[in-house]
Amino acid sequence: MIEQEASTPQVVSEYVYRRQVQYRDTDASGIVHFSAFFCYAEEAEHAMWRSVGLSVEPRETEIGWPRVSASFDFRRALRFEDEIEVRIRVVAKNAKTFTFESVITCRGEVAAIGTITTICVRKRSGEPLKAIDIPDEIANRFQVAAV
Amino acid sequence: MIEQEASTPQVVSEYVYRRQVQYRDTDASGIVHFSAFFCYAEEAEHAMWRSVGLSVEPRETEIGWPRVSASFDFRRALRFEDEIEVRIRVVAKNAKTFTFESVITCRGEVAAIGTITTICVRKRSGEPLKAIDIPDEIANRFQVAAV
Amino acid sequence: MIEQEASTPQVVSEYVYRRQVQYRDTDASGIVHFSAFFCYAEEAEHAMWRSVGLSVEPRETEIGWPRVSASFDFRRALRFEDEIEVRIRVVAKNAKTFTFESVITCRGEVAAIGTITTICVRKRSGEPLKAIDIPDEIANRFQVAAV
Amino acid sequence: MIEQEASTPQVVSEYVYRRQVQYRDTDASGIVHFSAFFCYAEEAEHAMWRSVGLSVEPRETEIGWPRVSASFDFRRALRFEDEIEVRIRVVAKNAKTFTFESVITCRGEVAAIGTITTICVRKRSGEPLKAIDIPDEIANRFQVAAV
């Protein structure tokens, strides 16, 4: 679906994703609902995959990436129309899992820091999800970021 | 998945679904986001299916129900913790489509009235969605409501 | 909040907003949930406001824009990572309301066409929303698009 | 808004909230999106407040409860129409914060375990959120659950 261009990097450790807070992200307290931060981190993760010419979920794939754990610490509220930056880094890579850390900033200040661990599974119709080793052609594209 | 009990009605024309406004349904204006009304109508529709012993999407099904059109007129704002009632009625039934009307009330007053038309499709991996006639065992369970 | 730059146009009739389908927009049928189209149209509308140096909801405003009605006709399914374009046009403008039409396309084909009417209200703490005339400094920025 | 009935308990340490997985909670992988678990936990928390005659956000309140941190470990996938149970417990209570643990089960098996810490703030128009001591009439209603 997404073809790799000549300029596509081969390996990624860190990626910066930018987007604006949309109205639906907010709740009646006037700020962004805490569950939306997890979606921001996921959007950054998927953009990171695309940055190395991959899709986390190409059409007709049998491979999926459910989450093993997800957490965020919240430091500052975000509001409608805030321009945010999600700096996502590969912080761990194992046979079956990746762990990504996302630092969300707005106007140069940290709004939240979160971590998501995702596991590679085989999805087959009528069968439960089964954890599998990350295929080499994917694993080779992600490298743990230097500290 | 959902077995039909002895007391399950055979045919449905109208169904009343109740739920409470949750915090995530609201936005920064302090009221329920307009897109959430469409989810309320969908929840009522799916509960109506269950009321006749059906699921709109049993596991491993090849049949899907994408929406052809959806509309709502909004009369009153809904707020966090409001108890709402969605009265959904079958207002049209054709070879391939159902049309449902939903009247959402809160404290006895109409908050919104909406209509959703949904079409029966066959979903096959790698093929585009294809409209098909509604299978008899489903079509027979829904009857257009008397005016 | 958003200051008008020298190059900001004074009046808008039509705006093109682009974004990509995110994973959270999809549902278990594998396509974008129909309620997400309403959010896409809203995002386009808010971007249209910003294109003339306005925010639909500046901080501390007393003015709000609840929806009077919203509808979409759906022609084609959208899927994860699809690049979409929302062409939004002002199709009616009255003392208290704006009506916007949104045509959503993907790969040059129309996926959905929708219309949203929004009403200008005064929000005061503890009072019900009250419809008011659209202030001139806002009304003057939007012009009904030529047919 | 929600009046305390004669039978309302005075103090709560644990609460069981039940709901069904709705279609909008799912994503294209066919299972519930991980961000929705945080909403399930929040719904349980708000129901727990109501169980002692309180609302987390009564109309016109100046008090808000933004999240300091939120995390979930995921054990099993949830699917459309699954009946789930969220057992929420007060696991810590400090001058300004509550910490709640939520165990989500389906068909008797644990699907996910999460923790949310929430801080009491004063919200005033035009001012940043300010952490304050939890008012006694609220703090007195929540008691840390026995281990």
User: How confident is the prediction for chain A on average, in pLDDT?
Assistant: 94
pLDDT on residue D2: 47
Which of B1, B23, B24 shows the shortest C-beta gap to D81?
B1
Whether B9 maps to a domain, the answer reads no
C62 touches chain A (CB under 8 A): no
Nearest-CA residue of chain D relative to B43? D22
pLDDT tens track for C20-70: 999 999 999 999 999 999 999 999 999 999 999 999 999 989 999 999 999
B133 touches chain D (CB under 8 A): no
Size of interface A-B (CB pairs under 8 A): 35
**Torsion angle defined by CA atoms of residues A122, A124, A128 and A131, in that order, rounded to the nearest 10 degrees:** -10
Interatomic CA distance for residues D42 and D39, integer angstroms: 5
User: How confident is the prediction for chain D on average, in pLDDT?
Assistant: 94
D46 touches chain B (CB under 8 A): yes
From A116, A37, A72, select the one nearest D116 (Cα to Cα). Answer: A72
Is pLDDT at B4 greater than 90 in this prediction?
no
Size of interface A-C (CB pairs under 8 A): 38
- Note if the pTM is more than 0.90: yes
Interatomic CA distance for residues C18 and C87, integer angstroms: 9
Q: How confident is the model at residue A6 (pLDDT cuts 50, 70, 90)?
A: low
What DSSP string runs through A55-82? Answer: -SS-TT-SEE--EEEEEEEE-S---TT-
CATH number, residue B29: 3.10.129.10
The mean per-residue pLDDT over the stretch A131-141 comes to 97
The mean per-residue pLDDT over the stretch A61-85 comes to 97
pLDDT tens track for D19-46: 999 999 999 999 999 999 999 999 999 9
Interatomic CA distance for residues B81 and B74, integer angstroms: 18
Residues C62 and C1: beta-carbon distance below 8 Å: no
Strand stretches in chain B, DSSP E: 14-20, 63-64, 67-74, 83-93, 97-106, 109-119, 121-122, 130-131
Interatomic CA distance for residues C102 and C113, integer angstroms: 6
Whether A80 maps to a domain, the answer reads yes
Is pLDDT at B2 greater than 50 in this prediction?
no
- CA neighbours closer than 13 Å in the CB half-sphere of residue B137: 5
C-alpha distances in Å from residue D104, one per residue of C98, D82, D114: 44, 12, 8
Question: What ipTM describes this predicted complex?
Answer: 0.94
The single-letter code of the amino acid at A125 is: S
pLDDT tens track for C85-137: 999 999 999 999 999 999 999 999 999 999 999 999 999 877 889 999 999 99
pLDDT tens track for D44-76: 999 999 999 999 999 989 999 999 999 999 999
Whether A127 maps to a domain, the answer reads yes
The fraction of chain C above a pLDDT of 90, given in percent, is 87
User: How many distinct structural domains can be found in chain C?
Assistant: 1
From D119, D46, D109, D33, select the one nearest D72 (Cα to Cα). Answer: D33
Who's near C139: CB < 8 A, 6+ residues apart? C93
pLDDT tens track for D110-134: 999 999 999 999 998 778 899 999 9
pLDDT tens track for B29-65: 999 999 999 999 999 999 999 999 999 999 989 999 9
pLDDT on residue B60: 86
Whether D145 maps to a domain, the answer reads no
Q: Is C139 helix (H, G, I), strand (E, B) or coil?
A: helix
- Residue B32's domain comprises 14-139
Q: How confident is the model at residue C6 (pLDDT cuts 50, 70, 90)?
A: low
B-chain CB neighbours of A125 within 8 Å are 60
Residue of D3, D17, D18, D22 for testing the chain B interface, max B β-carbons within 10 Å: D22
Whether A7 maps to a domain, the answer reads no
pLDDT on residue C60: 86
pLDDT on residue C127: 84
Whether A117 maps to a domain, the answer reads yes
Is pLDDT at B1 greater than 50 in this prediction?
no
pLDDT on residue D1: 42
Burial status of residue B107 (CB atoms within 10 A of its CB: 0-12, 13-18, 19 or more) = exposed
Who's near A16: CB < 8 A, 6+ residues apart? A85, A86, A87, A88
Q: In what order do the strands lie in the sheet with C121-122?
A: C63-64, C121-122, C130-131
D107 touches chain A (CB under 8 A): no
Which of A26, A59, A60 shows the shortest C-beta gap to B28?
A26
Interatomic CA distance for residues B117 and B113, integer angstroms: 14
A28 touches chain C (CB under 8 A): no
Furthest-apart CA atoms within chain A: distance in Å: 48
Among the residue ranges B66-75, B103-112, C50-59, D6-15, the one predicted with the least confidence is D6-15
| Comparison of pLDDT for B59 and B109, the residue scoring more | B109
- Enter the tokens of residue C124: 């005061």
- Enter the tokens of residue A132: 């599998």
Interatomic CA distance for residues A88 and A41, integer angstroms: 8
Whether A144 maps to a domain, the answer reads no
C74 touches chain D (CB under 8 A): no
Who's near D99: CB < 8 A, 6+ residues apart? D90, D91, D92, D93, D115, D116, D117, D118
The mean per-residue pLDDT over the stretch A66-95 comes to 98
Is pLDDT at D95 greater than 80 in this prediction?
yes
pLDDT on residue D6: 58
- Enter the tokens of residue A20: 């604006």
pLDDT tens track for A112-135: 999 999 999 999 877 889 999 999
Q: How confident is the model at residue A1 (pLDDT cuts 50, 70, 90)?
A: very low
Distance to chain C for A1, nearest Cα, Å = 9
CB atoms within 10 A of CB B114: 23
Is pLDDT at A2 greater than 50 in this prediction?
no
Whether A1 maps to a domain, the answer reads no
Is pLDDT at B6 greater than 70 in this prediction?
no
pLDDT on residue D5: 53
pLDDT on residue C87: 98
